[in-house]
Amino acid sequence: MDALAKLPVYDEYKSTRVKWLEEVPCHWDEYPICSKAKLKSITNTVGEDLLSVYLDKGVIRFDEVEQKRTNVTSLDLSKYQLVEVGDFVLNNQQAWRGSVGVSSYRGIVSPAYLVLSLAEGLMPKFANYLFRDGGMVSHYLISSKGVGTIQRNLYWPQLKRAPLFIPPVEEQLSIANFLDTKTAQIDEAISIKEKQIALLKERKQIIIQKAVTQGLNTDVQMKDSGVEWIGQIPEHWEIKKLRYLGFTQNGISAGAEYFGEGYPFVSYGDVYKNRQLPIAVDGLAKSSIGDQKLYSVLSGDIFFTRTSETIEEIGFASICFADIQKATFAGFLIRFRPSSSLLSKEFSKYYFNSSMMRQYFVKEMNLVIRASLSQELLKNLPVVLPPEKEQMEIFGYLEHASRQIDDTISLQKNQIEKLKEYKATLINSAVTGKIKVA
């Protein structure tokens, strides 16, 4: 933030009546938003490209959306609204979080969105920064109503009197150009750090896979494992299918009334997010003594994610390192309980979370529409088995190596958050006149 302190400020400021903005440059004019943005709704333009509004990106083409959507686009597009270049678009239910933007594209958006045309004197490039700034977002929140914590409907009658403080046109363009340059530099710095994180994660997986399939002794004699995706393993190691090492079981399935209070319950999220199962799980369930016995959670148990919308989320494993008293686990999971001392929980933590597990599950389920890991498929999973002493040595080595890489990743993530904070502060300072860039 020190860089902001070095930027010049305006010579004179005047007070405002707005709590979140105490003062603005004297020559900036105040308007209600309804005098600079007019509600419009043009429908029956089905031949146009689909557009959407995203929290971090503003208005984008629908086909640029990378993640899978939970909602489905209507087959009838006749009620979709036309958006022209320079229109201000607000996601009606997510505007309070900042899902708004001035469009650089012509297309159509959901009937639930608000579409506004901008008046002369308000430059679209400047408006895109102004309307996405935290101060304006606070007005969307005030003007929204809802009973939930995720979706709140925005109402134009409540929003239209929100104040805008706008500099002359040439100054708007100067501010927008300044922010285009500076935010592009920040975004590039963020992108570099994200790529570094991706490389660190890749390096971590390489280290894990090499250790759990080849061991730590580089001079050991090797043999063919007989499994293409495992490759060669040390000559004195064994390899067995999971079915010969223990027992598998699906979790408990019950209605919504079963959950929310009672005893510890291991959820899909507990397994998906953690390679080592936390002792203090968040979920609760009204499990009976019989449930707790049949669906118990004991040290050494390995839980696999069983069902998901995508193959990429199947087969993630979390290892239980300590008994969780009176706990049960979800039907979206498979529990594997070792019955053999050949497989330690320490070695399991890394073996079942190596990248080659993804290859196995994706390869075997590539024709499934809704991905589901069967017990039979899991039982056929080949498991490499070093001697117990080597398993513990590999565990110790990987704990240390993983911790070092994770610490570096954490540092990079912290730096990314600081860059994002600086970007938001820079935009706010420019569009509210706290700094002078023209």
Cα separation of 360 and 352, whole Å?
Answer: 11
The boundaries of the domain holding residue 323 are 238-385
Q: Convert the pLDDT of each residue in 305-344 to its tens digit.
A: 987 766 667 788 999 999 999 999 999 999 999 998 899 9
CA distance 336 to 235: 27
Q: Are residues 353 and 251 both part of a single domain?
A: yes
Range with top average pLDDT, 9-23, 135-149, 202-216: 202-216
Residue 128, SS3 per DSSP: helix
Is 20 inside a domain boundary?
Answer: no
Residue 359 in any domain: the answer is yes
Residue 431 domain-assigned (yes or no): no
* Residue 142 φ/ψ, nearest 5 degrees: -60, -35
Total domains present in the chain: 2
**Residues in a beta bridge with 51:** 61
The enclosing domain of 75 has a CATH number of 3.90.220.20
Q: Using an 8 Å Cβ cutoff, are 361 and 315 in contact?
A: yes
Does residue 52 sit within a domain? yes
- Predicted local confidence at residue 78, as pLDDT: 87
Q: What is the 3-state secondary structure (H, E, C) of 45-68?
A: CCCCCEEEEECCCEEEEHHHCCCC
Q: pLDDT at position 171, please?
A: 97
Q: Which two tokens stand for residue 420?
A: 């994002």
- For 219, the token pair is 């001079």
273 within a domain of the structure (yes/no): yes
SS3 385: strand
CA distance 390 to 396: 10
- Encode pLDDT of 390-435 as tens digits: 999 999 999 999 999 999 999 999 999 999 999 999 999 999 999 9
Query: Do 269 and 356 sit in the same domain of this protein?
Result: yes
The reported pLDDT for the residue numbered 68 is 45
Whether 11 shows a pLDDT value over 90: the answer reads: yes
Residues 243 and 375 reside in one and the same domain: yes
Cβ–Cβ contacts within 10 Å for residue 251, how many? 22
